[in-house]
A and B are shown apart, each in its own frame.
Chain A
Amino acid sequence: MQAVVLAAGKGERLWPLTENRPKPMIPVANRPLLEHIVDALVDAGVDEIILVVGSNRERVQRHFENGDAWNVDIDYVVQDPQLGTGHALLQAERQVGESFVALNGDRIIDASLVEDVWARHEETGDPAMGVTQVEQPSQYGVVELDGETVIDIEEQPIPELAASKFINAGVYAFDPSIFAAIRRTESYGEQALTDTLSEELDDQQIRAVRYRGRWLDVSEPWDLLAVNSALIDGRSPQHRESATIADSAVVTDNTVIGDGVVVHPNATILGGVTLGDNVSVGAGAVVKNAILLSDCTIESGAIMTDCIVGANASLGPNTTVEGGTADVVLDDTVYRDVRFGGLTGDNVDVGANVTVAPGAIVGNDATVDSGTLVAGRIDDGSHVTRG
């Protein structure tokens, strides 16, 4: 079975993490979102994966290489410029032989969804699409159903007008006629796959496959913490052997620790924490419900709660990310009362005794002087000074 995975997505709302990597390469539980999807595909019996990649594609390519580590053949096609999901799928046309599954590279699903969608397509010969129920369907493509058939797809309707609780789970099975259909679809700039599907509904039955399993979407930064925690909860701690943990440090269950990590004396790593490769946590530091990307340094006495720290960032002694809830503005939308201690980008250099207020987002390569208070949104490369 062939699978086409759309892995070129930018994910603007996850700025600044998506400046240096495509959204599917953001890690949760120390593995990129996309790797969780590749695992599901392999479990579902996929033996060839075509990854549609775009900006920062090197990150994807060097992680997955030719797929041998996952026992699957991985090929790459480049989408440049990026003009929507339909356009992305078109790029894979020459690589696809017969029927195939197609899915988004940034939503974690179970293998059963892929298996079921594929089986339905095999049975009926019609395009098949996974649908799942969520609490707030209006953020997604809401799907109106008649039994097992799709009647309508409405992208992000006003909540009151949402026709059902079912949304498009972003997993499809098609035969190659889909490419001609995408080309037939009128588009102005962006070419969305769901536009094609909506248009096709008039003369082509699209089968819906109901799915109740794990469907983890990362739209906003705090979703990363929830997904990270969902993936590591209740599992035995996953600590790489090459990590060094001082005898007096406390590392609880529900933690993931990467290669070459060092946890210095008296540091405390509590539940829901993922430490990327080569992360160093200083003496007496406390980390709780947080994702630290690779190569970060947390100095002595720092407190990191409910937060995400970008790769190669450095946080000075006694710096505090206090955690808790905040109102956060993203993309002109106000999100009230989200539990989100903050997000600092790649290579951020934070001095000593800095207080990071809940909800703060600091851009890549920013420098924050000792003793400052950081709140709100700080642009890439900024220098935050005292006074």
Chain B
Amino acid sequence: MCGITGYIGTDETGKIVHQGLQNLEYRGYDSAGIALNGTNLTVHKTEGEVGDLPVPAGDDVVCGIGHTRWSTHGEPTEENAHPHTDCTGEVAVVHNGIVENYDDLKAELHGDHVFRSDTDTEVIPHLVEDHLAEDVSLLTAVQRATSRLEGSFAVAVTAAGHDGIIVARQDSPLLLGHGDGETFIGSDATAFIEHTDRVTYLENGDIAHVTKQGVDIFNDGERVERTTETLDWDADAAGKSGYDHYMLKEIHEQPRALRQAISGRIDDLATNVDLTLDLPDEYLQSVEEVQIVACGTSYHAGLFAKELLEAKADVRVTVHVASEYDFRGGRDPWRTLVVAITQSGETADTLSALREASQAGTRTLALTNTLGSTVTREADDTVFIRAGPEIGVAATKTFVSQVATAALFSVYLGRVRNEMTTETATDLLESLRDLPGAVQQVLDREAKIRETAREYADSDAFFYVGRRAGYPVALESALKLKEISYDHAEGFAAGELKHGPLALVTDDTPVIALLTSETARKKTLNNVKEVKSRGAPVIGVASDPDATTHVDATFDVPDCGAMEPVVANVALQLFAYHVADEKGRPIDKPRNLAKSVTVE
């Protein structure tokens, strides 16, 4: 959602913090600001993109903090942009998360303090101001101020006349990057990855004093040591490498991402999968139900995973939108495995569902892309999807990697539970091996997809239909289009069309039909005829030419067994991309959207 960055060191602080904000812009970008602490404290803010904010400079600047905002409380205006300051203008605060008791705190502070914004954050600098008046160090003042806050936060505070930056976290991600005589602060590593890959993740309740000399971390009044890890991401995230958009770059990275996802995990000779899980076999054998919790694209990956787990591994699966999740319904928590799917590992709704499940007594497994993220610490066990950094707000390679990793998990679970035959496992593993090459073939056919996208770009609405594994792909493909082209796009279970949505179909609403293997396509073809007879143009996605004799346009995909719907998804990612590109949309920064949503 919002992004925090900060810097203390010998380089040009204003420039580094500004660059950090640009790196973080994908997390949200309706306003931005920077505070520099030197001879005095200066604050520079703007409404709109980071690019609208000039690179700030000050006198003898020692350190700086910055913020890029995606509004939750208060409109996107310059007043509401962070950093927020106290009445004296000497304390500057940037904050991610939500202060749930801000109404109470604001009421309490109101007599003595003047509030200039509508944000929840502004209570923090005023609280710090009050505590500084007690003549304590900035560290103590921030510690006392944050102890008053309810809700989630990651904050960075700097104040005139005080040394360095104080950072604190509770349920919102925050990490420190260690350079040579310099320290970086970021809500995720993207903020500073081009400078250093040595990082320390702060834990809940940590408060740290960052100075030129280094970092001192405290928790609950005690000094603590946190480990320094080396990220295995390279700084590729820092550039588009000649692509027009990160999204297109990431679409093209999918064959490699998929090879990484499966690399070293398939034991072809034993027809099994090794995910280095600690969950005991006996437990997995006793599980009666797998509950998947996820949001957005990850939720669609969850629906796909359900198809695989139920059809191939014969285990009961329910998939829950994380924000709607409750552990209930008379389930036995000891026989329920909850799988949280989140790209960032920081999705607040998913983490909240995971905690709910954990409290109920279930075991939990995370499927994520992000090493060291909150979900990896909170879940009992983690499987990484290994997709590498994803910058485009519209998830592409992480979806296919999530599905591929879920397919590996379904083989693992099916084999452990003795519910998957060698034949089924061989077929599924073969289709996984075929997947990177098949995706590459779709990428090689991009020109044709672009042509079709241009032809249909100006349609009134787009409907995606599919059955079985084709249904989650229809949902995901529709989501992709609406995210980046702002067109009305909906995914439907193909059989549901006639129960209502058919009323929306006209000759200006193309229907995109998933007709690959594993999608019960003979039945879907009947639905294709329904929409054809209402005059709608139909775009079919299939490997078998016989499936597409009645359609107006075809995206051929290579034969890829159970993974074929994933290949179809790649074709439809390109379709969405080129429709949006034709309309000149800001594809990497769609309006109102943020990459990972760290508020509930």
Shortest CB distance B113–A (Å): 47
Given the interface pairs A76-B242, A259-B263, the reply to whether A62 lies near B253 with Cβ below 8 Å is yes
Structural contact, A66 and B239, CB atoms closer than 8 A = yes
Secondary structure dominating the interface of B:
helix
Which of A137-145, A260-268, A332-340, A353-361 forms contacts with chain B? A260-268
Convert B246-263 into 0s and 1s, putting 1 for each residue whose CB lies closer than 8 angstroms to a CB of A. Answer: 000100110110011011
- Chain A residue nearest to B270 (CB atoms) is A244
Across-interface contacts of A244 in B (CB, < 8 A):
266-269
**Which residues of A in the span 143-200 have a Cβ within 8 Å of any Cβ on B?**
none
- Chain A residue nearest to B438 (CB atoms) is A312
Shortest CB distance B249–A (Å): 7
Interface size class of A (residues with CB under 8 A): 35 or more
Structural contact, B259 and A277, CB atoms closer than 8 A = yes
Which of B89-97, B439-447, B588-596 forms contacts with chain A? B439-447
Shortest CB distance A200–B (Å): 31
Across-interface contacts of B267 in A (CB, < 8 A):
244
Structural contact, A311 and B241, CB atoms closer than 8 A = no
Given the interface pairs A259-B263, A295-B437, A347-B441, the reply to whether A68 lies near B268 with Cβ below 8 Å is no
Query: How many residue pairs, one in A and one in B, have C-beta atoms under 8 Å apart?
Result: 95
Across-interface contacts of A331 in B (CB, < 8 A):
none
Q: How far is the CA of A97 from the CA of B434 in the complex (A)?
A: 46
Across-interface contacts of B241 in A (CB, < 8 A):
61-62, 64-66, 74, 76
**Which residues of A in the span 325-351 have a Cβ within 8 Å of any Cβ on B?**
346-347
Across-interface contacts of B255 in A (CB, < 8 A):
294-295
Which of B134-142, B230-238, B348-356, B407-415 forms contacts with chain A? B230-238
Q: How far is the CA of A143 from the CA of B365 in the complex (A)?
A: 67
Given the interface pairs A62-B249, A262-B268, the reply to whether A57 lies near B440 with Cβ below 8 Å is no
Which of B262, B269, B433 makes the CB contact (< 8 A) with A246?
B269
**Which residues of A in the span 117-155 have a Cβ within 8 Å of any Cβ on B?**
none
A203 CB-CB contact with B under 8 Å = no
Shortest CB distance A35–B (Å): 14
B28 CB-CB contact with A under 8 Å = no
Structural contact, A278 and B239, CB atoms closer than 8 A = no
Across-interface contacts of A43 in B (CB, < 8 A):
none
- Chain A residue nearest to B432 (CB atoms) is A278
Interface size class of B (residues with CB under 8 A): 20 to 34
A220 CB-CB contact with B under 8 Å = no
Given the interface pairs A61-B243, A312-B440, the reply to whether A260 lies near B268 with Cβ below 8 Å is no
Shortest CB distance A32–B (Å): 13
Structural contact, A278 and B433, CB atoms closer than 8 A = yes
Across-interface contacts of A242 in B (CB, < 8 A):
263-264
Structural contact, A260 and B441, CB atoms closer than 8 A = no
Shortest CB distance A26–B (Å): 15
A20 CB-CB contact with B under 8 Å = yes
A88 CB-CB contact with B under 8 Å = no
Shortest CB distance A119–B (Å): 31
With most chain A CB atoms within 10 A of its CB, the pick from B260, B441, B558 is: B441
Structural contact, A53 and B242, CB atoms closer than 8 A = yes
Across-interface contacts of A74 in B (CB, < 8 A):
241
Q: How far is the CA of A74 from the CA of B433 in the complex (A)?
A: 31
Given the interface pairs A76-B242, A277-B259, the reply to whether A68 lies near B234 with Cβ below 8 Å is yes
Which of A76, A241, A260, A265 makes the CB contact (< 8 A) with B269?
A265
Across-interface contacts of B234 in A (CB, < 8 A):
68-69
Across-interface contacts of B243 in A (CB, < 8 A):
58, 61
**Which residues of B in the span 256-308 have a Cβ within 8 Å of any Cβ on A?**
256, 259-260, 262-264, 266-269
B436 CB-CB contact with A under 8 Å = yes
With most chain A CB atoms within 10 A of its CB, the pick from B242, B253, B267, B436 is: B242
Structural contact, A68 and B437, CB atoms closer than 8 A = no
Q: How far is the CA of A65 from the CA of B437 in the complex (A)?
A: 20
Structural contact, B440 and A61, CB atoms closer than 8 A = no
Q: How far is the CA of A342 from the CA of B186 in the complex (A)?
A: 54
Which of B238, B242, B259 makes the CB contact (< 8 A) with A260?
B259
Shortest CB distance A91–B (Å): 13
Structural contact, A259 and B242, CB atoms closer than 8 A = no
A280 CB-CB contact with B under 8 Å = yes
Structural contact, B437 and A57, CB atoms closer than 8 A = no
Shortest CB distance B351–A (Å): 31
Shortest CB distance B59–A (Å): 32
- Chain A residue nearest to B443 (CB atoms) is A58
Across-interface contacts of B434 in A (CB, < 8 A):
295, 297, 312
Shortest CB distance B391–A (Å): 12
- Chain A residue nearest to B268 (CB atoms) is A262
Convert B203-240 into 0s and 1s, putting 1 for each residue whose CB lies closer than 8 angstroms to a CB of A. Answer: 00000000000000000000000000000001110110
**Which residues of A in the span 84-121 have a Cβ within 8 Å of any Cβ on B?**
none
Q: How far is the CA of A76 from the CA of B242 in the complex (A)?
A: 6
Across-interface contacts of A259 in B (CB, < 8 A):
259-260, 263-264
Across-interface contacts of A265 in B (CB, < 8 A):
269
**Which residues of A in the span 290-304 have a Cβ within 8 Å of any Cβ on B?**
294-295, 297
Convert B546-569 into 0s and 1s, putting 1 for each residue whose CB lies closer than 8 angstroms to a CB of A. Answer: 000000000000100000000000
Q: How far is the CA of A265 from the CA of B269 in the complex (A)?
A: 8
Shortest CB distance A20–B (Å): 5
Convert B419-456 into 0s and 1s, putting 1 for each residue whose CB lies closer than 8 angstroms to a CB of A. Answer: 00000000000000110111011011000000000000
Structural contact, A312 and B437, CB atoms closer than 8 A = yes
Shortest CB distance B407–A (Å): 15
**Which residues of B in the span 145-189 have a Cβ within 8 Å of any Cβ on A?**
none
Which of A57, A262, A278, A280 makes the CB contact (< 8 A) with B259?
A278
Structural contact, A66 and B235, CB atoms closer than 8 A = yes
Q: How far is the CA of A260 from the CA of B243 in the complex (A)?
A: 28
Shortest CB distance B246–A (Å): 12
Q: How far is the CA of A265 from the CA of B441 in the complex (A)?
A: 29
Structural contact, A260 and B437, CB atoms closer than 8 A = no
- Chain B residue nearest to A296 (CB atoms) is B437
Q: How far is the CA of A69 from the CA of B388 in the complex (A)?
A: 14
Shortest CB distance A313–B (Å): 9
Across-interface contacts of B239 in A (CB, < 8 A):
65-66
Across-interface contacts of A20 in B (CB, < 8 A):
444
Q: How far is the CA of A312 from the CA of B560 in the complex (A)?
A: 12
- Chain A residue nearest to B446 (CB atoms) is A58
Structural contact, A241 and B436, CB atoms closer than 8 A = no
Shortest CB distance A53–B (Å): 7
Across-interface contacts of B441 in A (CB, < 8 A):
312, 346-347
Which of B253, B433, B558 makes the CB contact (< 8 A) with A347?
B558
**Which residues of A in the span 270-284 have a Cβ within 8 Å of any Cβ on B?**
277-278, 280
Q: How far is the CA of A53 from the CA of B243 in the complex (A)?
A: 12
Q: How far is the CA of A76 from the CA of B234 in the complex (A)?
A: 19
Structural contact, A66 and B238, CB atoms closer than 8 A = yes
Q: How far is the CA of A297 from the CA of B429 in the complex (A)?
A: 13
Shortest CB distance B244–A (Å): 11
Structural contact, B238 and A294, CB atoms closer than 8 A = no
Q: How far is the CA of A244 from the CA of B438 in the complex (A)?
A: 22
Q: How far is the CA of A133 from the CA of B354 in the complex (A)?
A: 68
Shortest CB distance B271–A (Å): 12
Structural contact, A68 and B436, CB atoms closer than 8 A = no
- Chain A residue nearest to B236 (CB atoms) is A65
Q: How far is the CA of A61 from the CA of B234 in the complex (A)?
A: 15
Shortest CB distance A310–B (Å): 10
A-B contact pairs, 26 of them (CB 8 A): A20-B444, A58-B252, A61-B243, A65-B236, A66-B239, A68-B238, A78-B242, A241-B264, A244-B266, A244-B268, A244-B269, A259-B260, A259-B264, A260-B262, A260-B266, A265-B269, A277-B263, A278-B259, A278-B433, A280-B433, A295-B433, A295-B436, A312-B434, A312-B438, A312-B440, A346-B441
Q: Which 8 A-B pairs have the closest CB atoms?
A: A312-B437, A295-B437, A76-B242, A242-B264, A66-B239, A260-B263, A61-B242, A65-B241
List residues of chain A with CB under 8 Å of any chain B CB. 20, 53, 57-58, 60-62, 64-66, 68-69, 74-76, 78, 241-242, 244, 246, 259-260, 262, 264-265, 277-278, 280, 294-295, 297, 311-312, 346-347
Given A66-B235, A69-B234, 9 other A-B contacts at CB below 8 A? A61-B242, A76-B241, A242-B263, A244-B267, A259-B263, A260-B266, A278-B437, A280-B433, A297-B433
